Structures are given as structure tokens and as C-alpha cells.
């Protein structure tokens, strides 16, 4: 679980932190990811050493929100420690297995690619293999009909989560 010392009411949303190997695209480090997406960041020596992970929702929501969550959570790349205890955190159920999350990454790669003209024709050739997956609960602060993660920043409507339970 990502640590959050806030005393506000929180809901833990499950995300898969996935390390993959991609045939045809170098995505081993955070620096590789920054170059692939053409992020407006200077690539540092630390980024060249830091392993890259995708963060994929472990719950179902509509497709546009699902891709947006992958994009935002993966871009954030939490580098701090993880708490091992959930405590009294109310947790949303896991409705998407890690294998299902990995299947979505081809679409996510196409969505994130800076040079789509090069990547899109190669999509059928790209092979993705999961190396490791860890379930991480990310605490979102409950505010009315929305759940907010202020570190990222990211908000999700509660109705979108309810809709996802029926998919």
C-alpha cells in the first residue's frame, strides 16, 4: 500500500505494479519510458538505473478511464517505500487479474507512444511477457461522489467504480 498519513476517510483502490519485457521496444528503465513517451524531463543517471513498472488498475472501469488511469499512475512511478499493512482502509475489490492487466498493455503502449507512426504498425509484432506483478492498494481520499489521490493528482468518480463492478 502507498503510505498516506492523512486522517481523512480513504478508500484503497487496487493497482497491479507490473514489470514486463517487451519484444521490439526497450522499456527496461524509467529512462526508456521517458524516451518512449517523449516526456518533458531530463533523463538522469538515476532514471537509467531505476526499473520501470506499469501501474494498471486491478478493477474494471470503462475503457477511456482505464487507459487514463494506466497513463497517470504509470507516469507517476511511485519510487518510495510501500506499507505492508492496510489497517482500517476500506478496499475496493480486485476484479481484474494480473494476466488481464498485461493483456491491456499493448493498447496502453499504443496510447502512450510519442512516435505513433513507428509504433502502431509494429503492434501485431510486439510481444509482452510479465516478469513480475505486485498488487498495491493506493489510498484515495473520499470526497463526496469522488475519490481523490492528491499526490498524483488523480480523481475517480465513485459511479465509475460501481459501473465497473457490473462489467
Q: What are phi and psi of 138, to 5 degrees?
A: -105, 120
Q: What is the pLDDT of residue 141?
A: 93
With CA atoms as reference, report the closest residue to 55 among 11, 5, 2, 9. Answer: 2
Residue 119 lies in a domain: yes
Q: Which residues span the domain enclosing 95? A: 10-165
Contact 27, 37 (CB under 8 A): no
Residue 138 lies in a domain: yes
**Structure-block grid coordinates of residue 151:** 499526490
With CA atoms as reference, report the closest residue to 34 among 106, 118, 132, 112. Answer: 112
- Can you give the pTM of this predicted structure? 0.90
pLDDT band at 3 (very low <50, low <70, confident <90, very high): low
pLDDT in tens, 31-68: 999 999 999 989 999 999 999 999 999 999 999 999 99
Contact 152, 146 (CB under 8 A): no
Residue 3 lies in a domain: no
Residue 102 lies in a domain: yes
pLDDT in tens, 109-143: 999 999 999 888 888 888 899 999 999 999 999 99
Place of cell 538505473: 49
Q: Based on the structure, what is the number of domains in the chain?
A: 1
pLDDT in tens, 84-104: 777 777 899 999 999 999 999
What secondary structure, in 3-state letters, does 7-57 show? Answer: CCCEEEEEEEEEEEEEECCCCCEHHHHHHHHCCCCCCCHHHHHCECCEEEE
Residue 1 lies in a domain: no
**Structure-block grid coordinates of residue 19:** 514489470
Q: What is the pLDDT of residue 1?
A: 62
Contacts of 64 (CB under 8 A, 6+ apart): none
Residue 139 lies in a domain: yes
**Structure-block grid coordinates of residue 105:** 498493455
pLDDT band at 83 (very low <50, low <70, confident <90, very high): confident
Amino acid at each position: 500500500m502507498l503510505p498516506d498519513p492523512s486522517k481523512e476517510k480513504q478508500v484503497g483502490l487496487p493497482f497491479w505494479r507490473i514489470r514486463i519485457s517487451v519484444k521490439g521496444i526497450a522499456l527496461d528503465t524509467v529512462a526508456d519510458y521517458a524516451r518512449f513517451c517523449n516526456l518533458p524531463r531530463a533523463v538522469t543517471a538515476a532514471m537509467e538505473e531505476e526499473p520501470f513498472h506499469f501501474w494498471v488498475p486491478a478493477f474494471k472501469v470503462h475503457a477511456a478511464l482505464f487507459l487514463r488511469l494506466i497513463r497517470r499512475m504509470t507516469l507517476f512511478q511511485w519510487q518510495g517505500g510501500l506499507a505492508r499493512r492496510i489497517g482500517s482502509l476500506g478496499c475496493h475489490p480486485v476484479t481484474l487479474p494480473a494476466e488481464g492487466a498485461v493483456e491491456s498493455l499493448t493498447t496502453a503502449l499504443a496510447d502512450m507512444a510519442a512516435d505513433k507512426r513507428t509504433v502502431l504498425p509494429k503492434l501485431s509484432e510486439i510481444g509482452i511477457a510479465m516478469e513480475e506483478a505486485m498488487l498495491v492498494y493506493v489510498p484515495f481520499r473520499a470526497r463526496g461522489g469522488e475519490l481523490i489521490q492528491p499526490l498524483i493528482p488523480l480523481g475517480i468518480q465513485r459511479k465509475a467504480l460501481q459501473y465497473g463492478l457490473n462489467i
